[in-house]
Structure 1
Amino acid sequence: MSDDQIEAFWTRAITKARINQFEVVTGPDRDSALTPPAWSLDDETVEAALRDGKLVLMSAASQHEVLPKAWGLSILLWEDETPAALVQTTEVTVRTKEELDAEETIGDWAAVRDTIPAGASVVVEVFKVLADNA
């Protein structure tokens, strides 16, 4: 992953997503803005997130030392670790495996379902795409 690519994308995304007014998140000007964390997913999932404007991911609660917080920003990367989108966590909930099994399949549940033991808690994170790298 190139830090320069991520920095350049972050600079464009600040304007594209119109988040400059959020000084708490970005700082009072672009020079003081902290670049949010970057993380990658497979290209198929990234394409779906860009198409839908939304991404839902699930993981075992035991994988988290601290639960993620809603309203945080991050940079979603393609598999080759180039920036794809600026995303914001809009919702974080903890559900049981059984609750999720009883519902219509959402997000990546089908992919992670068999890795979660019965009775375990599952962290469900919902992300909104604020700006893509187009």
Structure 2
Amino acid sequence: MNFIAEAGFTSYPILLCAALTLGLAVRAFLRPSDTATDPGTIAGIDAVLFWGVFGAVVGLLGTLGGVAQAAAAIEAAGSVSPSLAWGGLRVALHPLLMGLLLLSVSLLLWFALRARRGAQLRPASAD
């Protein structure tokens, strides 16, 4: 929880993207197998990847904003100890880590759902 709190205001949109990603993945997984070719099912599977990428972009923007704030604070303070400067940069990287973690999970879910859909489309063997 402390990690999420340190990520700042961008953690909330990233968590929303994570909830959307998970909800869409569960919805696509629970759909009946006869809807595998349905465009809505395919769009839902692709939306899993979209929200993961969107969360990563929000994390990158949050990190850039955090680095800019840290740089401004260091500039205003003048002489700052290296540990304090690196501590500010460490905190600024939290949104990016959250976004990349979300992207990794969404990529795995997207790949698994696409593979599952592809397996349902393969014809049965004639043996």
TM-score of the pair, normalised by structure 2: 0.22
TM-score of the pair, normalised by structure 1: 0.21
> 1 or 2, which has the higher helix percentage?
2
For CA contacts below 8 A with separation 6 or more, give which structure has more relative contact order.
2
